């Protein structure tokens, strides 16, 4: 079946100057409709209106920002159709070489006109190398000359469009007289068919899927957003009356899209988006820190000649007052924990331990004292030695 491309041709040189319009400037009469049944869209800033200059004229399309300097659109928006007509016959409508990226201008102003603010310029155009026919290969990427500050949309590169799933269409189809259109959106549309179950006469190829309705001239290259706002399709062509649009499938071109996205990230000086690195359109969840069990305090932990203490602690045996326990090694500069004080225990070693004869109440009352000296000589730090060395250093006293 013959289908129509959904770009708008503008048969005049596009001017981006800031001067006021002159009476002798050309006026463009393009009687096309916008997204049929849609409404004005002032919020989907990831969708841009495009103008591609070719010779003394140009064409108007739509595209979607999927990275800071990368726009997803239709190939017929940036390449000439060598079929010689705006109508498409599969197998007889090849593309020519794409126009230079610098010929492409875009803005996400709600109203698209030659006097819109915030125009950006393309730098390079990338198209699939697998084929040149309009049917099946109508997708392109534009690497921009500068990075946009708009948060990009996420392409759904890991899941195909599904028959019956809902989507929203957004585009800058022209309205009334003049070449400019406004961004409009239509929600609640349904995927009609996918490769393998589309009617033969539809011309839908293995890299495409069939939409419901609602896209017209100027909406070419515009996105189909799934229920989560991810891009699942790119408008290619449709029947007269803005019916039965054919979309290029984002999933089908995942390798092409991610490869060019890596290139764009390098040129733009930023880290590639997560979906480029992971191959998934699902944003990784923030990693929650793993809760840890509270650790038992080292001071006071039971020890023996077979169960030692960590660095900085000695295994101290208080004799008849209780079992051996880990006690912090100390010197005149050490602040012992509450209820303990730095005492010499022989062999030149000193540990933080409750005073001899202290009651539980006194130990829990807090306070800390550090001895300034002992009969064994000046206080000094004693390294921890595990095993038999503990006894040699006098860090463990045997029970009587």
Instruction: Provide the CATH number for the domain around residue 180.
Output: 2.40.10.120
Distance CA 327, CA 341 (A): 10
pLDDT of residue 152: 98
pLDDT at 34: 56
Asked if pLDDT for residue 388 goes beyond 70, the answer is no
Please tell me whether residues 238 and 361 are part of one structural domain.
Answer: no
Does residue 377 carry a pLDDT above 90?
Answer: no
C-alpha span between 290 and 244 (Å, rounded): 51
Query: Do 48 and 152 have their domain in common?
Result: yes
Q: Which residues contact 121 (CB under 8 A, 6 or more apart)?
A: 102, 104, 105, 106, 144, 145, 146
Same domain flag for 270 and 208 = yes
Q: Are residues 111 and 208 in the same domain?
A: yes
Instruction: Retrieve residue 337's tokens.
Output: 């924990």
Average pLDDT value over all residues in the chain: 78
What is the dihedral sign for C-alpha 212, 214, 98, 140? negative
- Is residue 20 a part of any domain in this protein? no
pLDDT tens column, 32-46: 345 666 789 999 999
The Cα-based distances of 84 to 7, 92, 353 in angstroms read 14, 10, 96
Q: Is 353 within a domain?
A: yes
> Residue 6: pLDDT band by 50, 70, 90 thresholds?
low
- Per-position DSSP letters for 177-221, written without gaps between them: SSS-BB-EEEEEEE--B-TTSS-GGG---TTEEE--B---TT-TT
The answer on 351 and 237 residing in a single domain is no
Neighbours of 106 (CB within 10 A): 27
- Are residues 147 and 49 part of one domain? yes
- The two tokens of residue 91 are 């197998």
Distances (CA, A) of 89 to 199, 202, 238, 298: 16, 11, 12, 81
Q: Please check whether residues 164 and 59 belong to one and the same domain.
A: yes
Predicted model pTM: 0.66
Chain segment 186-220, per-residue pLDDT in tens = 999 999 999 989 998 889 999 999 999 878 777 89
**Range with the poorest average pLDDT among 215-229, 276-290, 335-349, 375-389:** 375-389
Q: Are residues 71 and 163 in the same domain?
A: yes
In a domain, 359, yes or no: yes
For residue 13, name the pLDDT band (cuts at 50, 70, 90): very low
Q: Are residues 320 and 274 in the same domain?
A: no
Question: What pLDDT sits at residue 179?
Answer: 54
Within-domain flag for 124: yes
pLDDT-derived band at 276 (thresholds 50, 70, 90) equals: very high
Rg (CA), the chain: 37
User: Can you tell me the mean pLDDT for 360-385?
Assistant: 33
pLDDT in tens, 138-170: 999 999 999 999 999 999 999 999 999 999 999
Between CA 143 and CA 127 the distance in angstroms is 11
CB atoms within 10 A of CB 370: 18
**Domain range spanning residue 338?**
313-392
The tally of domains found in the chain comes to 2
251 and 319 assigned to the same domain: no
Residue 302 falls within a domain, yes or no? no
Kindly state whether residue 191 falls inside one of the protein's structural domains.
yes
Q: Clarify whether residues 115 and 207 are in a common domain.
A: yes
Give per-residue pLDDT as tens, 231-270.
999 999 988 777 889 999 999 999 999 999 999 999 999 9
Last-in-domain residue among 278, 293, 323: 278
State residue 211 phi and psi, 5-degree precision: -95, -175
Instruction: Give every CB contact of residue 40 below 8 A, 6+ residues apart in sequence.
Output: 110, 182, 183, 184
pLDDT at 322: 76
Residues 246 and 98 placed together within one structural domain of the fold: yes
**pLDDT of res. 357:** 57
In a domain, 291, yes or no: no
Residue 293 counted as domain residue: no
pLDDT of residue 326: 87
The average pLDDT across 49-74 equals 92
> Per-residue pLDDT averaged across 381-390, rounded?
32
Q: What is the pLDDT of residue 289?
A: 64
Q: Is the pLDDT of residue 355 over 50?
A: yes
pLDDT on residue 180 = 60
**Separation CA 103–CA 7 (nearest Å):** 16
Cβ distance 130 to 206 under 8 Å? no
| Range from 25-29, 273-277, 344-348 that averages highest in pLDDT | 273-277
């Amino acid at each position: 079946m013959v289908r129509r491309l959904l770009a708008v041709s503008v048969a005049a040189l596009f001017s981006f100057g800031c001067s006021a319009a002159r009476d002798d400037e050309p006026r463009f009469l393009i009687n096309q409709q916008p997204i049929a049944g849609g409404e004005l869209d002032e919020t989907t800033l990831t969708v841009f209106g495009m103008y591609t200059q070719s010779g003394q004229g140009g064409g108007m399309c739509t595209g979607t920002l999927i990275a800071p300097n990368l726009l997803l659109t239709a190939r017929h928006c940036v390449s000439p159709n060598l079929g010689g007509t705006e109508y498409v016959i599969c197998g007889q409508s090849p593309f020519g070489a794409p126009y230079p990226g610098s010929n492409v201008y875009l803005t996400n102003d709600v109203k698209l006109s030659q006097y819109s603010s915030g125009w950006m310029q393309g730098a390079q155009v990338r198209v699939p190398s697998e084929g040149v026919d309009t049917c099946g290969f109508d997708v392109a990427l534009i690497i921009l000359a500068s990075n946009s500050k708009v948060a990009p949309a996420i392409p759904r590169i890991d899941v195909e469009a599904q028959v019956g799933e809902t989507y929203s269409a957004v585009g800058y189809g022209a309205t009334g007289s003049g070449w400019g259109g406004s961004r409009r959106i239509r929600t609640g549309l349904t995927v009609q068919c996918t490769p393998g179950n589309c009617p033969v006469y539809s011309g839908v190829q293995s890299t495409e899927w069939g939409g419901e309705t609602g896209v017209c001239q100027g909406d070419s290259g515009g996105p189909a957003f799934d229920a989560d706002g991810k891009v699942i399709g790119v408008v290619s062509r449709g029947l007269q009356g803005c019916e039965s649009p054919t979309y290029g499938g984002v999933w089908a071109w995942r390798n092409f899209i991610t490869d060019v996205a890596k290139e764009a990230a390098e040129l733009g000086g930023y880290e590639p988006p997560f979906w480029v690195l992971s191959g998934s359109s699902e944003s990784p969840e923030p990693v929650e820190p793993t809760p840890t069990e509270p650790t038992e305090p080292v001071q006071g932990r039971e020890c023996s000649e077979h169960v030692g203490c960590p660095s900085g602690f000695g295994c101290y045996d208080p004799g008849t007052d209780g079992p051996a326990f880990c006690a912090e090694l100390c010197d005149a500069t050490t602040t012992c924990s509450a209820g303990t004080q730095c005492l010499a225990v022989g062999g030149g070693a000193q540990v933080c331990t409750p005073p001899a004869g202290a009651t539980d109440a006194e130990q829990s009352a807090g306070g800390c004292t550090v001895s300034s000296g002992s009969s064994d000589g000046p206080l000094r730090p004693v390294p921890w030695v595990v095993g038999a060395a503990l006894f040699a250093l006098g860090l463990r006293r045997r029970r009587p």
